[in-house]
Amino acid sequence: MRENDKILVDVKGLTKIYSLKRNIFSRSREFVTAVYDVNIRIKNGEIFGLVGESGSGKTTCGRILSRLEEPTGGQIFIKGVDIRLLKGQDLQGFRKNVQMIFQDPYESLNPRMTVADTVMEPLEVQRVGDYEEREYRVWKALKIVELYPPGDYLFRFPHELSGGQRQRVAVARALVVEPDFVIADEPVSMLDASIRAGILNLLLDLRTRLGLAYLFITHDLAVARYMCDRIGVIFKGKLVELGKTERLIGNPHHPYTKALLSAVPIPDPRAERERFRFEERELPEQTFDRSCVFLPRCAASGRICRKESPEMVEVEEDHYSACHLSTEM
């Protein structure tokens, strides 16, 4: 294996179940399965896309991977270390290696902190160098994210920046500690279309320059296609299809992927595909153990779909799909 092919992140059977109290007095709880049995491997320098509609558990995955949340089950190895066991010094080291970029740059920056404070804070927390060293690093990070000249931005507050600039600050904040792995949770979904490309290109550029690996979370297959080496499609917390970008998009196996693709604006009008029709039938939710998650929406379900939850099956090389019927299609 080449250095680049080394596994950086190995997620095994990741499951997250939220239990909610109905109200402060009741003892009964409600359970929400946000993520169920997700297996992902991300190599060094790879951009892995996690695609799914809103509420499908993408953010939850990202948050668990950055240890903002504890998983209910499963294991996560980053650089071979089970991150669930990290504590104290090791956790701090982990925070240095793994950074997250959030969806909404309007919200993710503390309104009362200047750019300099925001970007410098992780360095303070990590106790990186002395003040001069930190200043230098902040300066460098701002330059990398193309906030130039950095001096113009250092003492601005978030509200004095445009959305794109803010997201660049967020990226700078993530990069300043020189991580290996960045989780980018829909980094452009809140931005104007006109500035999206800039940020995406920046992220791609950073991968090349710094050799970063990304978990790139998005609901937009077109963006994923542009960004990612491999894509995993997630539906209601379950991974339903996974494969190299071009293959997955060129030859989708899972009906949900197909549905997503049909919703993607099609660049070539002649290549019009049959639009996939959703049909929501009334079926009880949370039936993971018994039936296919996609069943309520699936137009082509068979009897087996109702009885058994499909496993991920390799449909072609490095391309997996979890659908009983995908082989027949």
Partner 1 sequence: MHLGKFILIRATQIVVSFFIILTLLFVLFRVAPGDPASMVIDPQMTPEDVEVTRALFGLDKPLYQQYLICLKNFVKGEFGSSFYYGKPVIEIIGEKLPNTILLFTTSIILSALAGISWGKVIAWRRGSLLDSSVTVIGLVSHTLFLPWIALLMVWVFAYWMNLFPLSGMITPELWLNPETGITMKVLDVLHHMVLPLSVLFTIHFGGFMLIMRSSMMETLKEDYIVTARAKGLTERQIRERHAAKNAALPVVTTLGLSLAFSINGGAITETIFSWPGIGRELVFAVSNNDYPLAQIAFLLIAALVLVANLVVDVLYAYLDPRIKY
Residue ranges in contact with partner 1 by CB under 8 A: 21, 24, 63, 66, 68, 91-92, 95-96, 99-100, 102-104, 107-112, 121-122, 125-126, 157, 159-160, 170, 173
For residue 113, which of 173, 195, 192, 183 has the smallest C-alpha distance?
173
187 near ligand ADP, judged by CB under 6 A: no
- Of 24 and 271, nearer to partner 1 (C-beta) is 24
Q: Binder to ligand ADP among 59, 99, 257, 301 (CB under 6 A)?
A: 59
Q: Binder to Mg ion among 15, 56, 59, 114 (CB under 5 A)?
A: 59
Give the three-state DSSP class for 139.
Answer: helix
Contacts of 203 (CB under 8 A, 6+ apart): 171, 184, 187, 214, 216, 227
User: What is the closest distance, in whole angstroms, from the C-beta atom of residue 217 to Mg ion in the complex?
Assistant: 7
Choose the stretch contacting ligand ADP; rule: CB under 6 A; options: 47-55, 90-98, 140-148, 167-175. 47-55
**How, if at all, do strands 181-185 and 213-218 pair?**
parallel
Q: What angle do CA 195, 206, 117 make, to 5 degrees?
A: 75
Q: What's the rounded Cα separation, in Å, for the pair 267 and 23?
A: 48
Q: What distance, in Å, lies between the first and last C-alpha atoms of the chain?
A: 34
Q: Which does 107 bind (CB under 5 to 8 A by kind): partner 1, ligand ADP, Mg ion, none?
A: partner 1
176 near ligand ADP, judged by CB under 6 A: no
Q: Binder to ligand ADP among 11, 15, 36, 60 (CB under 6 A)?
A: 60
Instruction: Report the residue number whose CB is nearest to ligand ADP.
Output: 59
Instruction: For residue 108, give both structure tokens.
Output: 């993710």
Helices 131-144 and 115-125, axial angle in degrees (round to 10): 120
Q: What's the rounded Cα separation, in Å, for the pair 204 and 208?
A: 7
Contacts of 129 (CB under 8 A, 6+ apart): 123, 137
Can you say whether the dihedral through the CA atoms of 325, 16, 93, 95 is positive or negative?
Answer: positive
Burial class (CB in 10 A: 0-12, 13-18, 19+), 274: exposed
- Of 238 and 324, nearer to Mg ion (C-beta) is 238
108 near Mg ion, judged by CB under 5 A: no
Can you say whether the dihedral through the CA atoms of 323, 317, 216, 32 is positive or negative?
Answer: positive
Instruction: Report the residue number whose CB is nearest to Mg ion.
Output: 59
56 near ligand ADP, judged by CB under 6 A: yes
User: What is the closest distance, in whole angstroms, from the C-beta atom of residue 10 to ligand ADP in the complex?
Assistant: 20
Phi, psi of 12 (to 5 degrees): -125, 120
8 near ligand ADP, judged by CB under 6 A: no
58 near ligand ADP, judged by CB under 6 A: yes
- Of 3 and 70, nearer to ligand ADP (C-beta) is 70
DSSP state of 276: P
Choose the stretch contacting ligand ADP; rule: CB under 6 A; options: 55-63, 157-165, 171-179, 206-214. 55-63
- Of 181 and 256, nearer to partner 1 (C-beta) is 181
- Of 14 and 323, nearer to ligand ADP (C-beta) is 14
Residues in contact with ligand ADP by CB under 6 A are 18, 20, 32, 34, 52, 54-60
